[in-house]
Amino acid sequence: MDLVAIAINSLWSGLFASGLGALLTAPPRYAVRTFLCGCAGRLARDVLTGWGVGQNWATTVAATVVVLVGVAIIRERRVPPVVLVSGVLPLGAAKAMFNAILQLMRVTSLEGEPLVAASIALSASVATVFTTSLAIAMGLAAGISAVRLVRREKVLARV
Amino acid sequence: MQPLEWALDVALIVMRNGGSTAMADRTFENVLRGFREDRVPVVWRLDFVAATGVAEGESFTVLRPVGPIGVNLVRASEAAVLGERVARGEVDTAALAGEVERINALAAPYNRWVMTAAAACTAAAFSRILGGDWGALGIACVAAGLGQLVRSLLQAMKIAVAPVTLVCGLLSACVAASGLRLGLSQTASAALIASVVYMVPGMPLINGFMDIVIQHRLLVGLERIANAVFLFLVLTIAIAFAQTVVM
């Protein structure tokens, strides 16, 4: 596992999340928090895949980590959705989506062996997009449910 | 009938500004709770929202068109907060209309140049995430910056999302392809994809999956995903065009 490469990639992901947060109109006070969420998500995914965890499980856990980091660093009753969305977008499958559509455009004009190869590449890209997006949604849901559960228990403990 | 209409008006701010369906639904429920109304059946779609209530023994349906969907999560968050305040009884009926107007008038927190810098920064970072070299970083940075600048000008003219995405995608991809043709980078796919990443509809895609998987709202989820796939298609056409014509 190349820790330096993982750390550098995490920093780029943080920067990506922060820029995207601004494009999605996140208020300036959330810029650093969005950066940290983006960083943490990518770091978690790269470390887990480095340990041999499958890409989709690693993405699910990373999305959960984004929620937990968001809750930990934002001392408000509710974490703004823009922070969570920007934090998980570096985990997304944008490249696979572009590849899928490019392959889709190609398969209509191919025949024989190239058609078979392009069809396989197309199914692989579509599957990647589907499973990655699903993994992110599941991870976010798991994180949000965990936070709700803990907060409810805290309220009950106070009563 | 009025509390239902007020609840829909506030919830629609969330939908129109890129908020999730769950957030819109929670806001709708909060406003109704503030007026001591029971939860009513509501159908969420990207083209319209319909809610059914009962008054004096007769049922009625209120239908509101959603209209063009943009991204201003400040407004969406403010609408959600307004819903919570109504639920706690902090906002009365007289103040609610004014609050809705105030939220609808909220501007994005950044000016054109900050958005341009953010797009450039996002593209630069994404080119590195995709394994691009420093040349790809420079190309993506300039291409996305120029594209976002034109995008904000077109958005100010109230042009629809798809044509804006196509024009800006073509501009950014052509600028990136020109840089690649000049030999500034050896990682073509990273530079080309990163140059248009500032317009990638990642948020509708994730919201769509969340709607289907977690909220079990199949229709609105599929609408969001189809919308995102369409914008991806537009961006891919822009990249393919630039690759064919410029490179």
Is B239 close to A98, i.e. CB distance below 8 A?
yes
Question: Dihedral (C-alpha) A59, A62, A68, A71: value to the nearest 10 degrees?
Answer: -90
Strand, coil or helix: B52: strand
pLDDT at position A50 is 93
Q: Which residues of chain A lie closer than 8 angstroms to B74, CB-CB?
A: 25, 27
Q: Which residues of chain B lie closer than 8 angstroms to A2, CB-CB?
A: none
pLDDT at position A32 is 92
Look up residue B150 and give its two tokens.
């034109």
B85-109 core/surface letters (b: 16 or more CB in 10 A; e: else): bbbeeebeeeebeebbeebbebebb
Distance CA A123, CA B17 (A): 33
Q: What is the mean pLDDT of each run of 10 residues along chain B (247 residues)?
A: 86 90 92 86 91 85 88 86 91 88 89 95 93 95 97 92 95 96 92 92 84 86 92 90 87
Look up residue B123 and give its two tokens.
């593209």
Chain A residue whose CA is closest to B112: A23
Please report, in angstroms and rounded to a whole number, the separation of the first and last CA atoms in chain A: 47
**Averaged confidence pLDDT in chain A:** 86
Is A81 close to B202, i.e. CB distance below 8 A?
no
Between CA B126 and CA B148, with CA B235 as vertex, the angle to 5 degrees is 60
Q: Which of A3-12, A76-85, A101-110, B93-102 has the lowest mean pLDDT?
A: A76-85
Q: Which of A42-46, A62-66, B211-215 has the lowest mean pLDDT?
A: B211-215
Instruction: Please state the rounded mean pLDDT for residues A133-157.
Output: 81
Q: Is the pLDDT of residue A77 over 70?
A: no
Q: Which has the higher per-residue pLDDT, A47 or A106? A: A47
Q: Is A108 near chain B, with CB under 8 Å?
A: no
Q: Is A90 near chain B, with CB under 8 Å?
A: yes
pLDDT at position A158 is 47
At residue B246, φ and ψ (nearest 5 deg) are -90, -45
Asked if residues B93 and B34 have their Cβ atoms less than 8 Å apart, the reply is no
Q: Is A141 near chain B, with CB under 8 Å?
A: yes
**Would you list the domain boundaries of chain B?**
2-104, 112-245
Asked if residues B163 and B180 have their Cβ atoms less than 8 Å apart, the reply is no
Whole-prediction pTM? 0.86
Please name which of A56, A54, A63, A67 lies closest in space to residue A96, comparing C-alpha atoms: A56
Q: Is A61 near chain B, with CB under 8 Å?
A: no
Asked if residues B107 and B161 have their Cβ atoms less than 8 Å apart, the reply is no
Is A95 close to B205, i.e. CB distance below 8 A?
no
Of B109, B129, B205, the CB nearest to A133: B205
Q: Which residues of chain A lie closer than 8 angstroms to B233, CB-CB?
A: 101
Instruction: Please state the rounded mean pLDDT for residues A120-125.
Output: 89
Question: Dihedral (C-alpha) B129, A87, B103, B154: value to the nearest 10 degrees?
Answer: 10
Q: Is the pLDDT of residue A42 over 90?
A: yes
Asked if residues B64 and B13 have their Cβ atoms less than 8 Å apart, the reply is no
Q: Is the pLDDT of residue A68 over 80?
A: yes
Please tell me the total count of domains within chain A.
1
Q: Is the pLDDT of residue A159 over 50?
A: no
Please name which of B64, B72, B74, B80 lies closest in space to residue B18, comparing C-alpha atoms: B72
Between CA B209 and CA B66, with CA B154 as vertex, the angle to 5 degrees is 45
Beta-ladder partners of B60:
B53
Confidence at A157, pLDDT banded by 50, 70, 90: low
Q: Is the pLDDT of residue A133 over 90?
A: no
Is B193 close to A95, i.e. CB distance below 8 A?
yes
Is A24 close to B71, i.e. CB distance below 8 A?
yes
Of B72, B125, B209, the CB nearest to A25: B72
Q: Which of A52-56, A65-69, B243-247 has the lowest mean pLDDT?
A: B243-247
Is B200 close to A13, i.e. CB distance below 8 A?
no
